Chains A and B, each alone.
Chain A
Amino acid sequence: MRELRIRELKYSLHLFSSNKLVVIGTAIVLFYVFLAVFGRLIVDAGEPYRLDLKNALKPPSSEHLFGTDDLGRDIMKLIVLGAGYDMAVSIFVVAVSIAIGTVLGAVSAYLGGKFDEVFMRLVDILFAFPGLLFAMAIQMILGKSLFNLAIALIVVWWAGYARLMRGQVLAEKGKLYVRAAKSLGLPGHRILFKHILPNAIYPLLVSATMDIGGVMLSAAGLSFIGLGPTPFEPEWGALVNRGAPFLFVAPWIMFFPGLMILLASLGFNLVGDGLRDILDPRLRR
């Protein structure tokens, strides 16, 4: 029994590592996670508060590898500290959105009929709202903060998962093993949660991994227009925002955080790609 698990794991690893891009993606993601978790240990958490106007807007040098911003803070240190915020927000948003979306989407698909019709219209209406404006509106109501930014994103994001999950469940519902389970007398709720969901959710997991990058970009975008974190929360989007007025004077303030955003979401995308290949048991061998 255990050797079966080990065999499966080894094969998964093999699949994963044989794709160079995926390996690169994983390396990026691991690096990013490392920064997010240990950032505070590497860099002094007080850095965002350390104003040093004498050293403001200095270009990259041996002392400040990425230069300094308009308040004289070391950009590299800000980035390191900011990693944690981004990761927290992205994972929080994706996790909660998936939780809400998959349950609602799955139930809707399984019940079908009127409930499904009504629910999908609701989802369609939600989709009709431009996401960014919607998030802005929510922030206006709830107030500007990183947490509210996350809430706003969740409200926009869950519908996508609901729709995806519904499609997946509908697809699985028609498959023979579900019919067989029914003919064996297994009760409906059991079929839904123990049979359909585990098979339906894998594409969602892949999508979710890639969405972590997407959420990061959205959060960055919203921060960029001024919603979300305070100046003392070095979330990467906010950092890019700070650098906007200084684009021609000190481009490095925008450049480096922007680059990090790009790399991180790229990394997650690549990993998501690799996951897709591993997780389908029938694609193996």
Chain B
Amino acid sequence: MNGILEVEDLRVEFRTYRGIVKALNGVSFTVERGEVFGLAGETGSGKSVTGLAIQRLLPGNAAIVGGRIVFDGKDLLSLKEEDMNKIRGKEITAVFQDPHTYLNPVFTVHDQFRDILLMNDREIASLKDKREVKKAVDNKIIQMLAEVQMPAPERVVKMYPHELSGGMKQRMMLAMAFSLKPKLIIADEPTTALDVTIQAQVLELMKSLQRRYGTSVILITHDLGVIAETCRRIAVMYAGRIVEMGGVDSVYNEPLHPYTRGLMRALPRADKDMKVESIGGSVPDLVGLPPGCPFHPRCSRAMEVCRKLNPKTLNIDGRVVECHLYDEEIAKGRVA
């Protein structure tokens, strides 16, 4: 197993007034070293929860009730909080949609980086003289900003977050995320709030940084276009489960799961004229999910068995899918 991250049968529940919300119901996947892995889904799919669970940053009313998360050979769920803290921010870093969640409004750009560097950069830590340290920190920050193609870095370092544009803030975030050369970056909707032309710039930047440092990235988003352009593999999530997973080429060109097919067909396209077909119904209530496949009420190909039994996770020619339509494949012996 060469994966930098192995998630096995992860289950997460939230306690709410209305009852227990089963946010994740047995999620399993592997992320290879140096790979960009796409986690796609709509609201309620559990994609963001997965990202938080890996970092053990779930809110107070949530609990990981089952499964394993192995990162670089370490069992993350068994670590003490202090040990997990050492991994967060250094070996696993995160990039979010909303810069407000991580940028302190009273710190200049310079200050945001300074503390990270002082604590974690070994070169700087080895310097003794205070003035040398300051110079080293200043230079390193400018260098990092230049790497993310921040316009006018010398001016930007003195600015406060509210003076930066959305694109600049995300560049800053990428700089912070990549600065300590982590092994894994979890990016949750990193470009969703950006203008389309800026998004294109930031995605290109992310791709080049990723290639340069060989970092693995889990890209969580609902935007199937972004995943197609940046990821090697994709996992499609629905109601807390992965319903289909595989290489981006095969999943997009030949989607196996009816939900994946429905999504592809529901997307209007800027590059061609096509008839858009909406998926009827709406995302299920995660409190008290009925038995059977969670997608069956909306599935055009639902069968009797779909109402009763949860489909097993099937491995067909290297692709993963959870759907009763492929049960015969088991019989045919095509399934691993």
Contacts and interface: CB of A to CB of B under 8 A. Distances in A.
B44 to A, nearest CB: 15
B122 interface: no
B interface, how many residues as a size bin? under 10
Contacts of B18: 285
Nearest to B16: A285
B158 to A, nearest CB: 31
A26 B17 CA distance: 22
Contacts of A14: 17
A232 interface: no
A115 interface: no
A11 B17 CA distance: 9
Contacts of B17: 11, 14, 285
Interface in B8-30: 16-18
Interface string A1-37: 0000000000100100000000000000000000000
Interface string B213-241: 00000000000000000000000000000
Contacts of A285: 16-18
A257 B17 CA distance: 42
Contacts of A11: 17
A14 B18 CA distance: 12
Nearest to B18: A285
B62 to A, nearest CB: 16
Nearest to A15: B17
A285 B287 CA distance: 13
A14 B16 CA distance: 13
A50 B18 CA distance: 59
A239 B257 CA distance: 79
A97 to B, nearest CB: 36
Interface in A245-268: none
Interface of B: 16-18
5 contacts: A11-B17, A14-B17, A285-B16, A285-B17, A285-B18
Give the 5 A-B CB pairs with smallest separation, nearest first: A285-B17, A14-B17, A285-B18, A11-B17, A285-B16
